[in-house]
Structure 1
Amino acid sequence: MNKVNIKPLADRVLVEPAPAEEKTVGGIIIPDSAKEKPQKGAVVAVGPGKKDEPMTVKVGDQVLYGKYGGTELHLDGKLYLIMKESDIYAIT
């Protein structure tokens, strides 16, 4: 996990998505065009939360989120997602 110089606002969370699966369980290599977008990742930065709603997730948490959750953000050649905490389904 990298240190980033970005501080999300309010209830926003910056997530580094886990890499997409390269092979199936049976060992078949998946081509880039058929890879599914990962739905899990690591929390890299967390906003302060809203006035009456403190943040539940913290930096370093492994989380599960919706397939189309968040907005893609490219920083220093890496892909991140910035999303509301409510888009995160679970901490693993």
Structure 2
Amino acid sequence: MKIKPLGDRVVLKKVEAEEKTASGIILTGAAKEVPQFAEVVAVGSGIVDGKEVQMELSVGDKVIYNKYAGTEVKLDNEEFIVLKQEDVVGVIC
């Protein structure tokens, strides 16, 4: 099953949280920090209220997004987040 975003929305696949720190300490489930990094897996058409919005993101881009933005969706045992392009704060180069 696939998700096709509408308008100026994008679908991101969350990146897994690190299981150990840089110094080698293994983190339990509760101690893991939820990452705000993700990969773009789908991009909307860019049409909002009959006007075209330039979509600056492409499938495959690695991005950073606002912490509380979007809607989390679990589909086929994978977690995705659907959010507006404006909630993406940067692309990782």
TM-score by length of 2: 0.90
Taking the aligned partners of 1:38 and 1:56, their CA distance within structure 2 comes to 22
Query: 1:36 maps to which residue?
Result: 33
> How many residue pairs were aligned?
89
- State percent identity of aligned pairs: 47
1:86 equivalenced with 2:91 (yes/no): no
Task: Assess if the C-alpha contact under 8 Å between 1:48 and 1:54 holds in 2.
Answer: no
Partners of 2:20 and 2:80 in 1: how far apart? Answer: 23
Counterpart Cα distance in 2 of 1:12 and 1:47:
5
Tell me the distance in 2 between the aligned counterparts of 1:15 and 1:88.
10
Q: Which amino acid aligns with 2:44?
A: G
Separation (CA, whole Å) in 1 of partners of 2:58 and 2:72? 20
Instruction: Please report how far the alpha carbon of residue 41 of structure 1 lies from its aligned counterpart in structure 2 after TM superposition.
Output: 0.8
Aligned pair partner of 2:20 in 3, 19, 23: 23
Partner of 1:31: helix, strand, or coil? coil
Give the gaps of 5 or more residues in structure 1.
none
Partner residue of 1:7?
4
| Moved beyond 4 Å, runs of 4+ | none
Write the letter of the residue equivalent to 2:9.
R
- 1:8, CA displacement in angstroms? 0.3
CA distance in 2, matches of 1:39, 1:68: 9
How far the C-alpha of 1:37 sits from its partner, in A, is 1.1
Q: Could you tell me whether the CA contact under 8 Å between 1:8 and 1:47 is conserved in 2?
A: yes
Normalization by structure 1: what TM-score? Answer: 0.90
More strand as a share of residues:
2
